[in-house]
């Protein structure tokens, strides 16, 4: 079914239409004109709206660490006005879109209905310093209106890869209803008032590309319900040991945290025994002794060790003994051999291994295991 055919279908059922998701395959020819028509055709009772075009990178099992396609679909002020009129809207997703400043500012009068706001892989127009400040001000104004918000995810950059620094104002206006927060802005998130972290009572927290310092992590220990923590690309934290004092953690993302030390990783493995996911790709300071402490994470199901030069045959032996391990990313671990991969395939619960970047001879792996490798 083409986008225009779907537009006609939506128009025919305008009064009863409850959700619109352009991430589905049938919307692959979506453009600004058809998007306008779809938004005009949907009635005020729309409760879920997901706009954007899906790309193959969105299906990467360990996160999109390959080169992503740049956003191409534009959200203009008129689109925002049409979205704003959906008085029943509770879930809004914007994915891989170019958001104009006018479109963001038009959201300022949004109705107090949103419970889920996801802006993912988007870029913001107007790249100068003043434009960046207006982008932040518009986002803060929008979030401040959402007094029922439960899930906030903002992942974006200024158009043209320009640097942008966001302050903690976005965190300061979050309502008490929020339980999941992820903010990733290309540049840095500068928490000038770190005590705001201690006031958050969330289950999931992601603050990537941040300007946090080691002392800021002390506030995370006050989060009694924290289960998922993403501090990827934390370039200024030189001691991650405080994370070991959050025993409720189930998922931990520390990708590209180049100052993650052996002592900190060993402390985390011993202090967070319930971890089911651990992502530490490109953490080049970590040595083989610290990595072997992963063997104490008996509930571990998913791990990313991409690009770590100290991943050894002995570590593979340790991973082989984890009873719940299902997914392993050892891509770009050039030192591993075919026998290492074969041993990992014998892990009791293993079902997916990423070995891209490792040069291996032609080999047939067990059919019940999905092995991602270079063609």
In CATH, what number is assigned to the domain containing residue 192? 3.80.10.10
In 10 A of CB 66, how many CB atoms? 10
The yes-or-no verdict on residue 1 having pLDDT over 60 is no
User: Does residue 355 share a domain with residue 309?
Assistant: no
Least confident of 99-108, 157-166, 289-298: 157-166
Strands (E), the chain: 19-21, 48-52, 73-75, 91-95, 97-99, 116-124, 151-158, 164-166, 180-189, 204-210, 228-230, 251-253, 277-279, 302-304, 327-329, 352-354, 370-372
Q: How much is the average pLDDT of 111-129?
A: 84
Specify whether 124 is located in the same domain as 258.
yes
Find the domain containing 148 and state its range: 3-314
The least confident of 67-76, 203-212, 267-276, 306-315 is 67-76
SS3 293: helix
Give the pLDDT score at 297: 98
Q: Which residues lie across from 235 on neighbouring strands?
A: none
Given this model, what pLDDT does residue 111 score? 77
State the total domains in the chain.
2
pLDDT averaged over every residue in the chain: 88
Helix, strand or coil for residue 120?
strand
pLDDT-based confidence at residue 281 (cuts at 50, 70, 90):
very high
- Confidence (pLDDT) at 159: 63
Q: Are residues 179 and 232 in the same domain?
A: yes
Task: Based on the fold, state whether residues 98 and 159 are members of the same structural domain.
Answer: yes
Q: How many residues does the chain have?
A: 375
Task: Tell me: do 213 and 352 sit in the same domain.
Answer: no
pLDDT tens sequence across 131-159: 778 888 889 999 999 999 999 999 877 66
- Looking at per-residue pLDDT, the higher value among 295 and 107 belongs to 295
Name the band, by pLDDT with cuts 50, 70 and 90, for residue 192.
Answer: confident
201 and 140 both lie in a single domain: yes
**Which of residues 261, 295, 314 is at a domain's end?**
314
Decide which of 124 and 251 is more confident: 251
Give me the mean pLDDT over the 202-206 stretch.
Answer: 97
Domain final residue, candidates 285, 314, 343: 314
Looking at the fold, whether 332 and 301 belong to one and the same domain comes out as no
Reply yes or no on whether the pLDDT at 53 is more than 90: no
Q: Are 227 and 249 in contact (CB under 8 A)?
A: yes
* pLDDT at residue 47, rounded to an integer: 92
pLDDT at 3: 64
CA distances from 68 to 60, 130, 287, 308, 367 (A): 11, 27, 30, 22, 29
- Are 225 and 144 part of one and the same domain? yes
Q: Supply the DSSP string of 326-343, one letter for each residue.
A: -EEE-TT-TT--HHHHHH
The listed range with the strongest mean pLDDT (105-109, 126-130, 206-210) is: 206-210
Q: Are residues 123 and 160 in the same domain?
A: yes
Alpha-carbon distance of 19 to 9, in angstroms, equals 13
pLDDT confidence band for 14 (50 / 70 / 90): low
The lowest-confidence range among 104-118, 282-296, 341-355 is 104-118
Do residues 306 and 322 both lie within one domain?
Answer: no
Residue ending a domain, among 314, 332, 364, is 314
Tokens 């002390």, residue located: 218
Give me the mean pLDDT over the 313-340 stretch: 97
User: Maximum CA pair distance of the chain?
Assistant: 64
Query: pLDDT category, 58, cuts 50, 70, 90?
Result: confident
91 shares its domain with 7 = yes
Whether 58 and 159 share a structural domain:
yes
């Amino acid at each position: 079914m083409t986008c225009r055919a779907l537009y006609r279908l939506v128009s025919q059922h305008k009064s009863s239409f409850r959700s619109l998701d352009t991430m589905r395959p049938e919307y692959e020819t979506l453009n600004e004109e058809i998007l306008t028509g779809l938004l005009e055709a949907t009635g005020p009772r729309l409760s879920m709206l997901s706009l954007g075009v899906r790309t193959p990178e969105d299906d990467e099992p360990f996160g999109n660490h390959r080169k992503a396609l740049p956003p191409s679909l534009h959200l203009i002020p008129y689109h925002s006005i049409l979205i704003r009129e959906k008085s029943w809207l509770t879930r809004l997703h914007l994915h891989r879109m170019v958001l104009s400043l006018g479109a963001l500012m038009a959201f300022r009068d949004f109705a107090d209905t949103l419970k889920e706001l996801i802006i993912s892989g988007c870029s913001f127009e107007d790249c100068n310093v003043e434009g960046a400040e207006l982008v932040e001000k518009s986002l803060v104004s929008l979030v401040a209106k959402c007094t029922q918000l439960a899930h906030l995810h903002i992942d974006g950059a200024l158009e043209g890869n320009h640097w942008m620094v966001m302050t903690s104002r976005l965190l300061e206006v979050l309502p008490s209803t929020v339980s999941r927060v992820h903010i990733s802005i290309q540049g840095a998130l500068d928490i000038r008032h770190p005590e705001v972290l201690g006031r958050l009572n969330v289950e999931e927290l992601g603050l990537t590309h941040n300007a946090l310092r080691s002392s800021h992590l002390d506030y995370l220990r006050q989060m009694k319900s924290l289960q998922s923590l993403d501090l990827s690309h934390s370039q200024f934290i030189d001691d991650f040991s405080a994370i070991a004092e959050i025993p409720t953690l189930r998922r931990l993302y520390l990708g590209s945290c180049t100052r993650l030390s052996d002592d900190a990783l060993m402390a985390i493995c011993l202090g967070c025994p319930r971890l089911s996911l651990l992502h530490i790709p490109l953490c080049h300071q970590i040595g083989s002794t610290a990595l072997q402490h992963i063997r104490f994470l008996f509930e571990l199901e998913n791990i990313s060790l991409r690009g770590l030069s100290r991943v050894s045959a002995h570590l593979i032996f340790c991973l082989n003994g984890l009873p719940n391990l299902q997914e392993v990313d050892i891509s770009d671990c050039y030192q591993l051999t075919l026998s290492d991969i074969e041993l990992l395939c014998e892990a009791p619960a293993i079902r997916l291994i990423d070995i891209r970047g490792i040069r291996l001879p032609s080999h047939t792996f067990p059919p019940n295991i999905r092995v991602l490798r270079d063609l």
